[in-house]
Each structure stands twice: as C-alpha cells, then as structure tokens.
Structure 1
Amino acid sequence: MATAHDRAVLQAIFNPTSPYGDIPGLNQEEELIDDDSGFDTELLKQVKELEMRGVSAAEAGDLQAALQLFSQAVRVLPQRASAYNNRAQALRLQGDTAGALQDLDQAITLSGGTGRTACQALVQRGLLHRLERQDDEARADFEKAAALGSEFARQQAVALNPYAALCNKMLSEVINKLRNPDVSQMQ
C-alpha cells in the first residue's frame, strides 16, 4: 500500500503543474479559527454583528455602508484583526489598493500571522502584490498562507515558481520515457 508521501510524489509526477502534495482527499485542512478569547464578550458580539452587517452591505453593492460598518468595528475593538481584513476587501473593491494593503498589513500583524484571518489576509495581500507585478512579495505571502493550510495559496505559490513547475515537468518526462522507451533509440 502506498504511503501519503508516495501518493504525493506520484501526484507531482503525473500532474506537474499541481502543488507538491496537493492530492484530493489527502490534505484535509484543519479548520482555522481566530483566538478571540482575549476580548470582552459583549464588545466581541457587537463587533461580529457590525462585521456581518458590513459583509451584507458589501454583497448588496453598498460599499460606503460596508466601509462605515467595518470602520466602526475597528473603533470598537482596534486590536481585533478581522475587521481590518474585511475593510481591506471593501477598500479593494473601491479601487483603494494602498488603503487595502495598509489594512491587510494591520490584520496580519494583529493576528500574529496565525489563524483564519491571517490566512485570508495573506492570500488577499498576495493577490494585490501579484496585480502590482510584485511577484516576490506575492510568492512570500502565498507561501505563508499555504503553510497555514490554504490550498489556493499553495497553487499560487507554485504558479509563481517557474523552477518547481519546470522540475516537475522534467521529472514527468523522464518517468514517461522509462515507461514507454523508444525502441529505435536503444540500438
């Protein structure tokens, strides 16, 4: 019976553009959560309600209301990362990339680089860096988010790493030649 590592190697060989170890059903992501235990429960409840209303407003296309709600959540609990991450998305949708990046930086800092909000913020910041053609910064963010369990980030990190794709492709060609040797070249 093949081990998980064996299956990951075979996946890399036969699907050279997929990230190493990215096997459907093999990587059962652990549900990331944010540690909100240090916040006052009443304030936390208030902030979560503001964020839910902000998300609803953004989904309805009312970005101004969403920004106001997310900003209010930031004022109530300025040390909680989630509202910064949500406000960054609304800012991005308004075309304010600089403001979005500033809020994403704050979300990552406040989260300590761990948990669901950090993972989401790293992916979003990576995408913004990629849009700005800052591939090194994008790759770094995607690699950090991938380490937190984001399969999307793992795929993006590989896509930004031409050497990994090239090595996987070359290995696949070698395996294919070993499986199907060209008899005419063996003489």
Structure 2
Amino acid sequence: MSPRGVTIPEVRQQLFDAAEQILLREGPAGLTSRAITREAGVAAGLLHNHFGDLDSFLAALFVDRARAATLHLRELPDQAGSGTVVDNVMTTIEPLLAGHLLALAGLALARPSLVSRLGEAHGEGALELDANERVIADYLAAEQRLGRVPAGTDTASIALALVGAAHQLLLTRGPHAPDLRERIRRVAEALLTR
C-alpha cells in the first residue's frame, strides 16, 4: 500500500493495468473500485481522488486502451509498395484480435453508462472508434495508386468489411479460437486478391 500523501508515479497506468487484469480474469462484474485499488496495491480512495467515480475511471481506461491499440496504425500507410497487401493488412488487424480489446467491448456493453462518459474521458476531440477502418482504407488507396490494388476498387468498403469481419469473428468465436487469424486472412485474401 502507498503511504498517505505520497505521490505514486504512473498511478493512472497502474490502476488501468490492475483494472484490465480484473476484467480479463473476472469480467465486468469484478470491476469495483476496491477490487481495482487492491489489485494495484494502492490506497482504497486513490481511484476516486484521480477520477471522481468508477464510471469516469472506466471510461478513461477504455479511451487509453483504444488509443494504445491504434498507435501501430500510423505505420501502415508507409508500408504501401512493400511486402504483400494481405500481409500488411493482417499486421494491422492482428492487434484487434487481442483478448483485452474484446473484454473492453464487453465492458461497454455491460455498463451502458460508460458510453456517455467516453466523450468526457477523451477530452476535446471525439473518440476515433473508426480509426482502424480509415487507416486501412487510406493504405489500400495508396496501394491502389501504386497499382497493387485494382483501379476502381472501393477501398473504403473493403476496409469496413475487413474490420467488420474481425469484430464479427471475435464476438462469435472469441479471441482464442484456433482458426481465428486464418479465417480473417481468408476474408482479406478474398477481398484483396482477384
């Protein structure tokens, strides 16, 4: 436990990591302020001191993890012209298949009060839930300009189909299904190789 009045470096991430562990282990029902602070090894009131209430904390957790999951996307357009289009797209989709992201989606479904808090947690701008789709569409358009994706291909629709297929397979089969990545690769190949 942290002594009263002593600043804990990186307390936000410590609390976020603890909450994610509980979410993966026990599901949304296990996420209480006390359970999170206990898991993090900090004083019981620390979460409320930093976030006000549990929903504000959980919304901040959701935004933090969503941002972290999309950081790798910035590199995708730079891959245009190298490797194969399907391999490059799969490298981008792989992080979407992580179990903790599915657990976070389940958290939002289990606690509808979080949806209204997401905008507050994000601050000035809107949470970019469609970032993966937009970056994949931009990447495919870049590949189209290089002639590696056929002219006339609706890159925005293909990006939506790829992200939608990943979400559908995650929701229906779970992140640990043995053929999950292979199924998504087959979808990518069907959409991108003609």
| TM bucket normalised to smaller | 0.3 to 0.5
TM-score (norm 2): 0.32
TM-score (norm 1): 0.33
Larger radius of gyration: 1
Higher relative contact order (CA 8 A, sep 6+): 2
